[in-house]
Amino acid sequence: MQYVINYFKKAGIGINGTRSWDIQVHNPKLYARIFKEGTLGLGESYMEKWWDCERLDLFFEKLLSLTANEHPNWQMLMTKLRAKLFNVQSLNNAKKSVQKHYDLGNDLYLSFLDPYNQYTCGYFENTSDLNEAQEKKLNLICKKLQLKKEDSVLDIGCGWGGFAKYAAEHFGCHVTGISISDEQIKYAKDFTKGLSITIEYMDYRNMTGKFDKIVCVGMFEHVGYKNYRLYMKKVASLLKDDGLFLLQTIGRNNTVTMANPWIDKYIFPGGMLSSLKQIGEATENLLMLEDFHNFGLYYYQTLLAWEERFRKNCHSLSQEYDETFCRMWRYYLLSCAGSFKARHMHLWQIVFSKGKNMYVSIR
């Protein structure tokens, strides 16, 4: 018990204090549970109303700003062992992971996303509006890719079709979007109807063809460290010699081979964040890095905007989303927000080529 209290104190977090980031403890068994189960116990006890906090984002910013290693626990050790022994992002497992998250129901996501259904970081340059920030992000991607009307574009992990629709509407190019989410595919086909867009149910590993431009926005987090090299080999084989590939992904400062146990169990099964070292090794002798852009603090704004919208709409959603689910989802959004604010996680836009032409990027 005292270990956990001292850890919180070291992070500047009070127990039953008056500051917005202090926690209010409703069950005194909380401390032993956190000590025993680590991040999994912390998240599950919040879902079960063992504790509350007015500003979860600030709580996690302070907690994650500590450099001390987390107290080891069996859940963490088992997650790490599973990631070492098995390819948890294999072709068969990938579908199960998608069903657990992206096939929850489109009404959930549309309750807090923008009109282009962007479930990734917005670009909040000179704006505080989520919808405008997402359009700025889409425009930035298109311009970094130097999109032209005659381009054929592959969107790996196309989501609900937002990027494909924006690129086809504003730049006139043909976009092929691929995904293995049944719900996203169904929605994206209707959302992009009448435009020069093809939406296919396809795992990246099975894709064929050649494309002028390839984009991957918010999907690389599901590839897994055992598949990074395979993924980049596939991208290189699909990209024309004078083409460009833009990767937008969440990244972290250090190299790991496992995910946060709570996130892995409740939000993104098999999800994993890459390091620069891992991306560099995966692209070595395949692709040339042309531009690197980090705007992770914009993800903090994005997540706060999503949480505000979700909080306003969660009780009007399907009855499937009960109070426990709503607490889980808010915990997910705000814990991630705090992680970005603590610079524990980052958002990277990286442009690659095959080195055939001079590339000049923009901001």
Q: Closest Cα partner for 145 from 59, 221, 247? A: 247
Helices first, then strands: H and E counts in the chain: 14, 9
Sequence-distant (6+) residues with CB within 8 A of 162 are 116, 117, 118, 134, 138, 191
Say how far apart CA 118 and CA 56 lie, in whole Å.
Answer: 23
With the C-alpha atoms ordered 219, 220, 221, 223, is the resulting torsion angle positive or negative? positive
Say how far apart CA 128 and CA 60 lie, in whole Å.
Answer: 22
Is 336 a catalytic site residue?
Answer: yes
Sequence-distant (6+) residues with CB within 8 A of 295 are 121, 123, 347, 349
Sequence-distant (6+) residues with CB within 8 A of 67 are none
CA distances from 294 to 133, 136, 347 (A): 16, 15, 6
Strands (E) across 253-339 are located at: 288-294
Q: Just list the catalytic residues.
A: 336
